[in-house]
Amino acid sequence: MIHLKNEKQLEIMRIAGRITGEAIQAGREAIKPGVTTAEVDHVIHAYIVKCGAKPTFLGYGGFPASACISVNDEVIHGIPSHNRVLKEGDIVSIDVGAFYRGYTGDSAATFPVGKISPEAERIIRVTEESFYRALEVLEKGSARVGDIGHAVESYCVENGCSVVRRYVGHGVGAELHEDPEIPNFGTPGHGIRIIPGMTICVEPMVALGTGDVYEMPNGWTVRTKDGKLSSHYEHSIAITSNGPELLTKV
């Protein structure tokens, strides 16, 4: 069931979204060679709590941390660890949610650790730009889910990358994952129509290789099968009568 949000609910989601986006930026500032992913998670956790919110991911389905921090060929759901030390040339995807007064934000982005390779720069750029290609579709109005996915995948393929099809975007609100699912692939003109009142997460997960993935024995971390780099970019979006609004953009 799709839950449409009224203006009062959107006001709360704007606050949750702002906290989420700022928490990611706090994590970004903590990233540097020699820092562990657990230390980055601690910074994010502290920021969310300081804002009077709760980390949405902590305990969600048993997840043991406040942020998913995925490095290099890890696509999503990387578990922060004191043993995972970041080094020059790594790329780090941070995925965060902040729960505030009954509603959550959800956002992700991928960042460099120091100087990175041209290929690493490309996967980060293509992933982020594919999100904004999808946003352009939403700005035109009368979009369907298939239009969003087609915009993401076609841009990625044009730039020599692949989308990860096993995982998709989603609705967001009182729950972290609500209807509808928002795949990063699709057929134009097909799928549920996107209408005002909906709040959704568009989140390209993109790989330099085939996009085939597997889950690690820890039950969470997802990696590319070919070991090639992956990148993740996501915003919570409110669909309004005036067009899409990025709730987690700061």
Work out the mean pLDDT of the chain and round it to a whole number: 98
pLDDT bin (cut points 50, 70, 90) of residue 249 is very high
Its pTM stands at 0.97
pLDDT of 147 reads 98
pLDDT of 73 reads 98
Return d(Cα 34, Cα 157) in angstroms, integer.
34
Alpha carbon distances (Å) from 181 to 178, 191, 206: 8, 10, 17
Q: pLDDT digits over 131-140, tens only?
A: 999 999 999 9
pLDDT of 70 reads 98
pLDDT bin (cut points 50, 70, 90) of residue 92 is very high
What's the whole-number mean pLDDT along residues 108-123? 98
pLDDT of 210 reads 96
pLDDT of 220 reads 98
Q: pLDDT digits over 171-205, tens only?
A: 999 999 999 999 999 999 999 999 999 999 999 99
pLDDT bin (cut points 50, 70, 90) of residue 217 is very high
Q: What's the Rg (C-alpha) of the chain?
A: 17
Closest CA to 127 of 174, 87, 184: 184
pLDDT of 170 reads 98
CB 113 within 8 A of CB 102: no
Q: pLDDT digits over 55-77, tens only?
A: 999 999 999 999 999 999 999 99
Q: DSSP letters along 25-39, please?
A: HHHHHH--TT-BHHH
